[in-house]
Structure 1
Amino acid sequence: MRIAVTGSIATDHLMTFPGRFVDQLMSEHFEKVSLSFLADTLEIRRGGVAANIAVGLGRLGLDPVLVGAAGVDFADYRDWLRANGVDTDAIRVSATRHTARFVCTTDADQNQIATFYAGAMAEAGEIDLVPIARRAHGLGLVMVGPDDPGAMLRHTDACRELGVDFAADPSQQLARLDRAETRRLVDGARFLFTNAYEAALLQERTGWNTPQVLGRVGNWVVTHGRAGVVVSRAGRAELRIPAVTATAIVDPTGAGDGFRAGFLAGTAWGWPHARAGRLGCALAAVVLESVGTQEYKLSAADLHLRIEQAYGPVAAAEIIHHLERR
């Protein structure tokens, strides 16, 4: 199965604040917040949700098609993506704008305050997925990640037109979508990805309760951080997948993208959801242990050990048998 990943391509500016954000907040002054946090470290890394997921898929041996908009400063990033097994031919490069920027500060409790500058991503709405699918000689699944809202809606419409399965991952862009747009984005998705907070926000945005959402999508995958992952489907019992424990949480940014890459890779290989979810959780733990969203090293032996420790030797054997052939 060939997977296209649509969404943001960005440069991450990641800072670390040694204290706790909550210690600086004064509830009686929330209407006029003026705060400054002195960061100890600054890391500038390649990122963006779609690019992060595509890199994960590429490192697992797939040949993902990355679909998004980048800026005039994209040349080095393009080379990096190609070196990591990502097809970049469908990326639109702006003639005037810079690649999107994600500026994020993380405190001692792993809480984050972030700002996102769209930059070239504003041009993503001009990308037509139909000719991209034809050039790729057919797509088995399109992952529609957070992007320019117009682009996200256009991509899901194109998938319906083409008869191609799609996964909807509205993520941070839920705040930008109204009720009609949110319904249009997720309706008919084979997979809907959210974290626990976004799950509640999605229900508020759509006006649908949980059974109604499950009546509109094939599978709803909700990540719960250290509590693992829940996969829900109408008329079936929930599937709960425990998290893989990271040895040390160095940087939480991109862990969810790592999970999605592992889960989608397992889906591409025809695995059941439980097995795909275990690989996703293992990859998320790897990402947690490195600074930046794409700087981690991946090996079949390391994934095998993590999965064996978390889920037992039988589960590890099922996964490693496939990974060693990649």
Structure 2
Amino acid sequence: MRIAVTGSIATDHLMAFPGRFVDQLLPDQLEHVSLSFLVDNLEVRRGGVAANIAYGLGGLRFDPVLVGAVGPHFGEYEVWLKEHGVDTGSVHVSAGHQTARFMCLTDRDSNQIASFYAGAMAEAAEIDLREIIARSGPLDLVLVSPNDPAAMVRHTDQARALGIPFAADPSQQLARLSRDEVRTLVDGARWLFTNEYESALLRERAEWSTEEVLERVGTWITTLGAKGVRIDAKDEPTVSVAAVPDIEAADPTGVGDAFRAGFLAAVGWGLPLETAAQLGCALSALVLAEVGSQAYEIHPERLLTTLRTVYGERAAGLLEPKVGQSA
């Protein structure tokens, strides 16, 4: 299965606040918030949603095609991605803008306050999927993850026009997308990914009910943090999968991206949705235990041990012939 992962490629600036954000907020002063947090540390790591998902897929031997825009100093990051199985030949390099920056502050409850500088990402709409196919060959799926909104719409429209199945992952960009943009990105998606908050925001932005969304997508996957994952499809029973328990959280950045990589790999192997979510949760646990969304490595035996312990012999048995093998 050949997957093009479109979206952001960024540098993550990760900071930890030892307290709780809610303790710093005064209910009668929320219209005049002015806060500064003294942080304990700063970690600068490789990131960006598309790059994180591609990294996970590369670790599972899927040779994903990364589609995004970066600044002129991408060389070291590009080498890293190539070493981890990612095809970077379709990445657009800007001559005038720096690679995007994600600046995130996490409190002791794993709540986050973040900002994002788009930089070179503003040029992502210049990337043409037809040129990518000409370079790398036919695509089986286009994943449209957070990016410049014009790029997200263009790549979704191109996937439709080219008859390529697509997955919608608007997540962080929902806050700035219009109703029509959200509807364009979602309508006809084979897979729709959100977390629990984003699922409500998507319905509000699109002005669609849950039932109306399910009329328009193949399968809706909602990650629920420590509560696991819920999978919904029209006229099908809901599938619920528990998260991997007892993980000491180092940093939550990139956890959802790892889930998407594991899930898409498993459905690419033709495995059941429940098994796909279980693999996604197992990869998420690897990220949660590290600082940085690409700080983990996939070791097949360890991964299978986690799957066997948490989800049982059936999950491990279905994944054992696939994990670590060529897609």
Query: Aligned partners of 2:146, 2:23: CA distance in 1, in Å?
Result: 31
1:253 matched residue in structure 2: 253
The TM-score with structure 2 as length reference comes to: 0.98
What is the identity, as a one-letter code, of the residue corresponding to 1:209?
S
TM-fit CA distance, 1:324 = 4.8
What is the identity, as a one-letter code, of the residue corresponding to 1:317?
G
Query: Is the 1:55–1:294 contact (alpha carbons within 8 Å) kept by the matching residues of 2?
Result: yes
1:170 matched residue in structure 2: 170
1:272 matched residue in structure 2: 272
Bigger mean CA offset, 16-25 vs 148-157: 16-25
Query: Aligned partners of 1:324, 1:173: CA distance in 2, in Å?
Result: 33
Residue 38 (structure 2) pairs with residue 35 (structure 1): no
2:138 matched residue in structure 1: 138
Query: Is the 1:246–1:286 contact (alpha carbons within 8 Å) kept by the matching residues of 2?
Result: no
Cα shift readout 1:88-147 (whole Å, capped 9, x = no counterpart): 010000001100000001111111111100000011111111221232210000110000
1:110 matched residue in structure 2: 110
Unaligned 5+ runs, structure 1: none
Report matched runs for 1:1-326 at 5 Å: 1-326=1-326
TM-fit CA distance, 1:297 = 1.8
TM-fit CA distance, 1:53 = 0.2
TM-fit CA distance, 1:23 = 1.1
SS in 2 for 1:30: helix
Query: Is the 1:246–1:289 contact (alpha carbons within 8 Å) kept by the matching residues of 2?
Result: no
Query: Is the 1:246–1:288 contact (alpha carbons within 8 Å) kept by the matching residues of 2?
Result: no
Query: Is the 1:246–1:285 contact (alpha carbons within 8 Å) kept by the matching residues of 2?
Result: no
SS in 2 for 1:323: coil
Query: Aligned partners of 1:120, 1:180: CA distance in 2, in Å?
Result: 25
Cα shift readout 1:180-203 (whole Å, capped 9, x = no counterpart): 111011100000000010000110
Query: Aligned partners of 2:251, 2:324: CA distance in 1, in Å?
Result: 28
Query: Is the 1:103–1:115 contact (alpha carbons within 8 Å) kept by the matching residues of 2?
Result: yes
TM-fit CA distance, 1:80 = 0.7
What is the identity, as a one-letter code, of the residue corresponding to 2:252?
P
Bigger mean CA offset, 216-225 vs 303-312: 303-312
What is the identity, as a one-letter code, of the residue corresponding to 1:123?
E
Query: Aligned partners of 2:325, 2:152: CA distance in 1, in Å?
Result: 34
Query: Is the 2:59–2:297 contact (alpha carbons within 8 Å) kept by the matching residues of 1?
Result: no
Query: Is the 2:7–2:144 contact (alpha carbons within 8 Å) kept by the matching residues of 1?
Result: yes
TM-fit CA distance, 1:86 = 0.4
Query: Aligned partners of 1:189, 1:283: CA distance in 2, in Å?
Result: 24
Query: Aligned partners of 1:321, 1:265: CA distance in 2, in Å?
Result: 13
TM-fit CA distance, 1:166 = 0.3
TM-fit CA distance, 1:246 = 4.7
TM-fit CA distance, 1:325 = 3.6
What is the identity, as a one-letter code, of the residue corresponding to 1:89?
G
Cα shift readout 1:227-268 (whole Å, capped 9, x = no counterpart): 111111101111111111253111111000000000011121
Query: Aligned partners of 2:148, 2:38: CA distance in 1, in Å?
Result: 31
Query: Aligned partners of 1:173, 1:304: CA distance in 2, in Å?
Result: 34
Query: Aligned partners of 1:14, 1:169: CA distance in 2, in Å?
Result: 23
What is the identity, as a one-letter code, of the residue corresponding to 1:45?
R
Query: Is the 2:61–2:324 contact (alpha carbons within 8 Å) kept by the matching residues of 1?
Result: no
What is the identity, as a one-letter code, of the residue corresponding to 2:201?
L
Query: Is the 2:105–2:113 contact (alpha carbons within 8 Å) kept by the matching residues of 1?
Result: yes
Query: Aligned partners of 1:315, 1:265: CA distance in 2, in Å?
Result: 14
What is the identity, as a one-letter code, of the residue corresponding to 2:294?
Q
TM-fit CA distance, 1:30 = 1.0
Unaligned 5+ runs, structure 2: none
Query: Aligned partners of 1:267, 1:315: CA distance in 2, in Å?
Result: 13
Query: Aligned partners of 2:240, 2:33: CA distance in 1, in Å?
Result: 40
SS in 2 for 1:222: strand
The TM-score with structure 1 as length reference comes to: 0.98
Query: Aligned partners of 1:7, 1:184: CA distance in 2, in Å?
Result: 16
Query: Is the 1:223–1:230 contact (alpha carbons within 8 Å) kept by the matching residues of 2?
Result: yes
Query: Aligned partners of 1:263, 1:324: CA distance in 2, in Å?
Result: 15
TM-fit CA distance, 1:321 = 2.2
Query: Aligned partners of 1:185, 1:274: CA distance in 2, in Å?
Result: 25
Aligned-pair identity in percent equals: 58
Query: Aligned partners of 2:245, 2:99: CA distance in 1, in Å?
Result: 33
Relative to 1, partners in 2 of residues 1:246 and 1:125: Cα closer, same or farther, differing over 3 Å? Answer: farther
Cα shift readout 1:62-95 (whole Å, capped 9, x = no counterpart): 1000000000121111111111110001000000
